[in-house]
Structure 1
Amino acid sequence: MSSETARDRASEILARRYDVLVVGGGNAALCAAINARRGGAEVLVVEAAPRFYRGGNTRHTRNLRCAHDEANEVLTGPYPEEEFWDDLLRVTGGETDEELAKFTIRESKELWDFMNEQGVRFQPSLGGTLSLGRTNAFFLGGGRALINALYLTAEKLGIEVLYDAEVTDLEIEDGFFSAAAVSYAGREHRVEAKALVAAAGGFEANIEWLTEAWGPEAENFLIRGTPYNKGSMLRMLLDRGVKQIGDPKQCHAVAIDARAPKFDGGISTRLDCVVFGIVVNRNAERFYDEGEDFWPKRYAIWGRLVAAQPDQIGYAIIDSRSIDKFMPSIFPPIEAGSIEELAGKLELDPGKLRATVDGFNAAVQPGNFDPNALDDCRTEGLAPEKTHWARTISEPPFYAYPLRPGITFTYLGVRVNKRAQIIMDDGKPSANMFAAGEIMAGNVLGQGYLAGIGMTIGAVFGRIAGREAGNYVRN
């Protein structure tokens, strides 16, 4: 199709009046669009990214956390709602809307069947430090395969999708949506719809907004996901009387390889070696318990921990016994024959790093090392202690990975209820505006993160938003 023909086709699409306008192109948006369409609604999806980069952060995901009562061909055992809630409560420290969180967990039990019905396929869990075989379903082919399956279903259902299309304004009066301004190919188009589903992600790719919250430290953050999540949709909604939820400094932030690109590095830049060694800062000092809990329950705190260190950088250090125990980064480790040589390559003080390693080694207690359990390998007499998986760093060669805060998505968002209705500042739900995904994840995630729960929130509330938008249109 020529560019001129494509523009004409897009102008024709944008000139129609729709039942449901879905803003965003990831998991939450597609789940909403599919459910709305299955309910009989005429649906338009507008995605700010080009077609190749469609899908937002869903492109980089690997798995989905879901409650279930028994094992199946992929999940190795039951994961009851009560255990899921206990895991979420632990990582959030209680910073969650309990009613919405428990509702999300209960609804997650339907996601396995729903995703299979949309053509999504699963594979057994990856090994290493993940320990997710019982709790999380891994997508066969990863996030891009998932998003391709959802788009294929949307296409078969007759859902209109427009790429490179950014919403630049919203017409909202007294909590009621009537139209959106959509920029496409240099022109503004007014698109009317009976209902709106906001599923356009957070503001993690907006460095200026991150700096407002974090200060100049944000300049050193790396963005793991899409560069298209600028938060413009979120800002428009908040400026038009929508109730805010969450803290702008709270986010899914993990420690990633400092050599990763500024944007879109994805899952391959994550480092899973932390539990097998020590992590030091620019001053060659440890600053947190590397073995506090299983990695999927703690990996998301390490971005914030590194962000609080001088120059927002850290260094994970292991020895030869641990180099094959985790999924490696896309970048090779920095290798040295001695701790002093390693310090030189990292531009750290050799004497300080040697003292830190020696002090750690001296504090390691005898135990039975087991990467698949909360073992009894710990330290004694250190601050901070390492409570599990503590082994001396003594077998050369020695390896290091530089760490930076890697921001996946932000938790500042819009308030919703169990029908995915957007709540206005006066406390009343909008009749025809709904939200799903990162833009409302702060209702469930006040802080902390559980591996795979972002996909859970997006799919659960995407399905509900689509269903409720369709119900509103019919009624």
Structure 2
Amino acid sequence: MPHHPTPAEHTAVDVLVIGGGNAALCAALMAREAGASVLLLESAPRAWRGGNSAHTRNLRCMHDAPQDVLVDAYPEEEFWQDLLKVTGGLTNEHLARLVIRESSTCRPWMRRHGVHFQPALAGTLHVARTNAFFMGGGKALVNAYYRSAEQLGVQIRYEAPVERIEMEGRRFIAAHLANGERIAARSCVLAAGGFESNREWLREAWGQNERGEWPADNFLIRGTAYNKGVLLRHLLDDHGADRIGDPTQAHMVAIDARAPLYDGGICTRIDCVSLGVVVNRNGERFYDEGEDFWPKRYAIWGRLVAQQPGQIGYSIIDSKAIGRFMPPVFPGVKADTLPELAQKLDLPLDTFMRTLTDYNAACRVGQFDHTTLDDCHTKGVAPAKTHWARPIDTGPFYGYALKPGVTFTYLGLHTDDTAAVRFNNQPSPNLFVAGEMMAGNVLGKGYTAGVGMSIGTAFGRIAGTQAARAASVSKKALPPDGIASIAINSGANNANA
């Protein structure tokens, strides 16, 4: 069993990891495997540990041939083209390809740390070739990593939010906790998430629209309530770290409007958008519902809904769509006729019926196949629906109210292939970043299923390795007798306290 210091003891630490999700855990494990002593600080209580990673399901993986749970092949170039398409070119190709290649080699390492994989389930077959699913989901992955970290001797503290860090130029010196404690270390990995649960920052980023609305006031947060962006803002504003990304860009999904404010997770998603039409509260369509396969395009719909009046939309389907998508947790509003559905959804009847009538008349139905980019499309209606367009004419009919659900934000710290935080385009010698805090280097906009975990795993592993190396260099430069400042009080929040 690993030794855990009592509150009275002091321990010199090589690597400090700030954060408690996938990227942070990957960094902590890699640093510990490299021989460094590691302390991980998680701001959440133990029961809520893991951040947004607890809500994940899979990892997008490059592979040149079938591999256990992954069917067929998903080569590097196809992965890159998928990423290029959803980001519209707003990505660093060097870092993106680094992530893609790392995704092909990380799973054996993940298995060694207790992560198990399973084949894609019914309703997720679109990604059976591209994504490896975690058995038990993200919560099981997070728990496996924490167990492995504890067994390896990583010190873990919960309810330990960091308010600021102490720097000397580009060099990390110490972290200052909300309780006033100062923790110094030879190197540090920042993996504390984005700012999606900071409502004030979201309001500041999105501002007020032409209708006088504050769109961010209607956003739901799909993940953790603990990603406030405190350290991100501190690094950018107080230390002048180089920034990457647009603060309004995010992994933002159209989710069930009845979802909770925080931690609704994957089960709040509404997956029938491509099988019907989506209207705003005025009863009007506003985007091509059949643009591409759902796993590639689902994450654009949150932003689209955020731009509509009242930040709300309604996914409308008929009985032909039932059984072709993963059913949501809450049943949709059901009606025997379209006018009745409009009434139940409180949508303007005349506009709604004109929208549906025009759409139905514009459908050119060929060979419907929701597993391919089929030839069912509309003609003479705007916006067009380019695939899977079939008349909505078979009762009963269903409607789902949609709101923007923010998963994580893309504004972050600029980095390179060493995961070093950069200041005036110069890398820090001992401060590294992983996960949501740097995802904007790869994701300028858009999203494709599972790539967030690919980024977090790749850069978490890189950051942990680099942090251990930086700590080793520091040790050689500064013998043990000279590191009195690099002492921490483990406190009563230790993992086994």
Secondary structure in structure 1 of the residue aligned to 2:185: strand
Instruction: State the 1:400 CA deviation.
Output: 0.5
Secondary structure in structure 2 of the residue aligned to 1:267: helix
Which blocks of at least 5 consecutive residues in structure 2 are unaligned? 208-213, 474-497
Are 1:429 and 2:427 counterparts? yes
Residue 46 of structure 2 aligns with which residue?
Answer: 51
Are 1:288 and 2:260 counterparts? no
Paired with 1:380 and 1:46, the residues of 2 have a C-alpha distance of 56
Paired with 2:465 and 2:434, the residues of 1 have a C-alpha distance of 12
Secondary structure in structure 2 of the residue aligned to 1:340: helix
Residue 140 of structure 2 aligns with which residue?
Answer: 145
Paired with 1:72 and 1:82, the residues of 2 have a C-alpha distance of 18
Question: Deviations along 1:114-156, whole A, 9 cap, x unmatched?
Answer: 2112110011112336500000000000000000111111011
Residue 279 of structure 1 aligns with which residue?
Answer: 278
Secondary structure in structure 2 of the residue aligned to 1:21: strand
Are 1:42 and 2:37 counterparts? yes
Which of 194, 203, 207 matches 1:202? 194
Secondary structure in structure 2 of the residue aligned to 1:131: helix
Question: How do 1:269-348 and structure 2 match up within 5 A?
Answer: 269-348=268-347
Distance 1:129 1:146, change over 3 A: closer
Are 1:78 and 2:73 counterparts? yes
Distance 1:129 1:398, change over 3 A: farther
Question: Deviations along 1:445-468, whole A, 9 cap, x unmatched?
Answer: 000001000000000000000001
Question: Deviations along 1:324-355, whole A, 9 cap, x unmatched?
Answer: 21111111100011111111111111121111
Contact 1:47 1:161 in 2 (8 A): yes
Paired with 1:174 and 1:40, the residues of 2 have a C-alpha distance of 27
Are 1:176 and 2:171 counterparts? yes
- Whichever residue aligns with residue 294 of structure 1, its letter is F
Secondary structure in structure 2 of the residue aligned to 1:408: strand
- Whichever residue aligns with residue 244 of structure 1, its letter is R
Contact 1:129 1:372 in 2 (8 A): no
- Whichever residue aligns with residue 429 of structure 2, its letter is A
Contact 1:363 1:381 in 2 (8 A): yes
Contact 1:170 1:177 in 2 (8 A): yes
Paired with 2:189 and 2:100, the residues of 1 have a C-alpha distance of 21
Q: Identity over aligned residues, as a percent? A: 59
Instruction: State the 1:16 CA deviation.
Output: 3.0
Contact 1:225 1:263 in 2 (8 A): yes
Secondary structure in structure 1 of the residue aligned to 2:364: coil
Question: How do 1:4-23 and structure 2 match up within 5 A?
Answer: 11-12=7-8, 15-23=10-18
Instruction: State the 1:241 CA deviation.
Output: 2.0
Runs of 4+ off more than 3 Å: 8-13
Residue 64 of structure 2 aligns with which residue?
Answer: 69
Secondary structure in structure 2 of the residue aligned to 1:254: strand
Instruction: State the 1:366 CA deviation.
Output: 2.4
Contact 1:16 1:191 in 2 (8 A): no
Contact 1:119 1:153 in 2 (8 A): yes
Contact 2:365 2:389 in 1 (8 A): no
Residue 181 of structure 2 aligns with which residue?
Answer: 189
How many pairs are equivalent? 463
Contact 1:251 1:407 in 2 (8 A): yes
Instruction: State the 1:223 CA deviation.
Output: 0.4
Question: Deviations along 1:363-387, whole A, 9 cap, x unmatched?
Answer: 1112111111111111111101101
Question: Deviations along 1:43-63, whole A, 9 cap, x unmatched?
Answer: 000000000100000010000
Paired with 1:420 and 1:469, the residues of 2 have a C-alpha distance of 9
Query: TM-score with structure 2 length normalisation?
Result: 0.92
Are 1:456 and 2:451 counterparts? no
Which blocks of at least 5 consecutive residues in structure 1 are unaligned? 1-7
Residue 479 of structure 2 aligns with which residue?
Answer: none
- Whichever residue aligns with residue 23 of structure 1, its letter is I
Query: TM-score with structure 1 length normalisation?
Result: 0.96
Secondary structure in structure 2 of the residue aligned to 1:72: coil
Moved more, 262-271 or 122-131: 122-131
Residue 391 of structure 1 aligns with which residue?
Answer: 390
Paired with 2:370 and 2:134, the residues of 1 have a C-alpha distance of 24
Secondary structure in structure 1 of the residue aligned to 2:181: strand
Distance 1:384 1:173, change over 3 A: same
Residue 20 of structure 2 aligns with which residue?
Answer: 25
Instruction: State the 1:11 CA deviation.
Output: 4.1
Paired with 1:267 and 1:11, the residues of 2 have a C-alpha distance of 39
